[in-house]
Amino acid sequence: MKSNDFLIGAVLILVSEMFLVLSGMVIKQLSGELPTEMIVFFRNLLGLALFLPWLLRKGTGVLRTTKLRFHMMRAAVGVTAMTCLFYTWGQLPLAQAALLKQTAPFFTPLVAFWWLKERISLQVKVAILVGFMGVAFILNPQETTVNMGILIALTGACLGALAKVTVRRMRETESPQLIVFYFAFFAAILSAIPAWLSGAGLTLIQFAWLVLLAATSTIAQLLLSKAYGMAPAGQLAPYTYGSVAMAALLGWLVWGEVLGLNTLLGILLISCAGIVAMMGKRDTPTKVIADPSL
């Protein structure tokens, strides 16, 4: 790997995280006007529309698969994780939402150990323990009530980890494009039902915001995929936590959000532990797959 490749990969990660935070800001803007179910549905529908040129160019034969049940499982788990994530962006301070999404590296080794029997190194075990200590600080047990938004965010991170392990189960035979297409296809169908039941209307301005959400999320996915194609994931791991600093700054500038001492300490612990956990994984050549649940 050339040093220039690593530098470009790091820059792409940071720009990708910036677009991720921008998509979170769009969700936060829309959450006061539209139910989460409607936002999730249009994110998936517009994401599916982006595949039409690819499908027209390749033909329907490219959709053949022997793992349809895994695609359906991944979509069901992924759309639930996306709903949790979108709710989190709308209800929690921007920096907290960005950070709690980054707890997925603590859940992924546990799910992989349970399902795929993958071993967990001592380094990753310690990182997971420290990471959950950081979560405890953010939950702030001294308060009389637990913030349900934080628990929903953690549920989304756990389900997101399960979705990633499902991708590992499929990646030997399925192309990245096919995996992402079937996610968008089944997720659009599954999210249509709760969106319809919500009974919410949609204005042209709100639709424009939703198009912007699809655009920022897609750009984040593409940049992330390009970055991981240039350098090992473990080496780029520290830069994914750049979204937390960006979210803290933008949350303060736009919404006047100020983080408490417990939250700041939790951010420090989770960020350090997440970096250690991701760097503790063995980098192996894999197909790069963007996660549509960003």
Average pLDDT over residues 72-80: 89
90 belongs to a structural domain: yes
pLDDT of 92 higher than 80: yes
- For the stretch 25-66, pLDDT in tens is 999 999 989 999 999 999 989 888 888 888 888 888 888 888
pTM (2 d.p.):
0.82
294 belongs to a structural domain: no
- For the stretch 162-202, pLDDT in tens is 877 777 767 677 777 788 788 888 999 999 999 998 877 88
Domain of residue 178 covers: 3-279
- For the stretch 98-132, pLDDT in tens is 888 888 777 877 877 777 677 888 888 888 888 88
Number of domains in the chain: 1
In the chain, pLDDT over 70 holds for what percent of residues?
86
Neighbouring residues of 148: CB distance < 8 A, sequence distance ≥ 6: none
145-175 per-residue burial string, b: 16 or more CB within 10 A, e: under 16 = eeeebbebbbbbbbbbbbbbbbbbbbeeebe
263 belongs to a structural domain: yes
Q: For residue 228, which amino acid is it?
A: Y
Q: Assign 285 a pLDDT band (cuts: 50, 70, 90).
A: very low
Q: Assign 146 a pLDDT band (cuts: 50, 70, 90).
A: low
101 belongs to a structural domain: yes
148 belongs to a structural domain: yes
**DSSP string of 162-217?**
HHHHHHHHHTTTS-HHHHHHHHHHHHHHHHHHHHHHHT----HHHHHHHHHHHHHH
Using CA atoms, how far residue 119 sits from 111, 233, 273, in Å, is: 11, 18, 18
134: number of Cβ within 10 Å: 23
The token duo for 170 is 């499929």
Q: For residue 140, which amino acid is it?
A: N
Return the pLDDT at 140. 67
**Alpha carbon distance 24, 93 (integer Å):** 10
Q: Assign 286 a pLDDT band (cuts: 50, 70, 90).
A: very low
290 belongs to a structural domain: no
217 belongs to a structural domain: yes
For residue 34, the 8-state DSSP code is S
Using CA atoms, how far residue 36 sits from 52, 91, 160, in Å, is: 25, 11, 17
248 belongs to a structural domain: yes
The token duo for 289 is 């797959």
